[in-house]
Amino acid sequence: MLTTVDKAKSLLGISADDETDNGQLTLYLASATSAIETYCRRSFRLQEYKDSKHDGTKGKYLLLEGYPIVQVSKMQIDGVDISDYETVAEKGILFRRDGWKALERQITVTYTAGYVLPSDATPEKPQTLPESLELACVLFCQTLMRTPGVTSERVGDLAVSYSNDGEGLPAAVKSLVNPYKRWG
């Protein structure tokens, strides 16, 4: 999940001692994480990837599924190791000055990419997930916790409206996650 139950409770103003709805809150956070990752067309969790491209791109850039790239452990073309490439880590791109030729039939990359999520963070390996993604998860969770169909709330002089433009994510959540969306 893009946040922990404890952090979400803190941001939502729920007492840390109140565990009555922890199961429901966990489900909402998992659903919010899934919706955000689906919208962004990527996973944010730090993991190992093995990508196979069956043809070169005829260009100098090879777009990988996961990013940011933490480490490329193996790069092969037609089963032969290569090292004449550079990584554009934050974009998940491998650059090769000579390009990725169209005749190169099997380009295989084994690499580690993604962010250390709050639930996976340790003192030795601190969280690297951007806070805006964590906040987006909590905001979407808050929307899911509301009564279905409610589009506005009023508390005293404060009025807040929530709209959904049909893609499943509220506008505030979209604005937070759009910089991390895979566009290609």
CB 28 within 8 A of CB 84: no
Q: Which among 7, 56, 5, 63 is positioned nearest to 30, based on CA atoms?
A: 5
Q: Last residue of a domain, which of 113, 141, 166?
A: 113
Mean pLDDT per 10-residue run, the chain (184 residues)? 94 89 93 96 94 72 90 90 92 88 77 96 96 96 76 66 64 96 79
Q: Is residue 156 part of a domain?
A: yes
> What residue numbers bound the domain in which 160 lies?
5-43+129-180
Tokens standing for residue 19: 């565990």
* Residue recorded with tokens 């193996």: 74
- Residue 31 shares a structural domain with residue 9: yes
pTM of the model: 0.82
Tell me how many domains the chain contains: 2
CA dihedral 28, 29, 34, 39 (to 10 degrees): 100
Q: What's residue 108's pLDDT?
A: 87
- Residue 162 shares a structural domain with residue 107: no
- Residue 98 shares a structural domain with residue 62: yes
Q: Which among 154, 12, 153, 36 is positioned nearest to 162, based on CA atoms?
A: 153
Q: What's residue 150's pLDDT?
A: 55
- Residue 53 shares a structural domain with residue 90: yes
In tens, the pLDDT along 129-170 reads 999 999 999 999 999 988 655 566 666 676 666 555 545 799
Q: What's residue 62's pLDDT?
A: 86
Instruction: Label residue 34 left, alpha or beta by phi (over 0 means left) and psi (-120 to 50 means alpha).
Output: alpha
Q: What's residue 180's pLDDT?
A: 95
- Residue 55 shares a structural domain with residue 92: yes
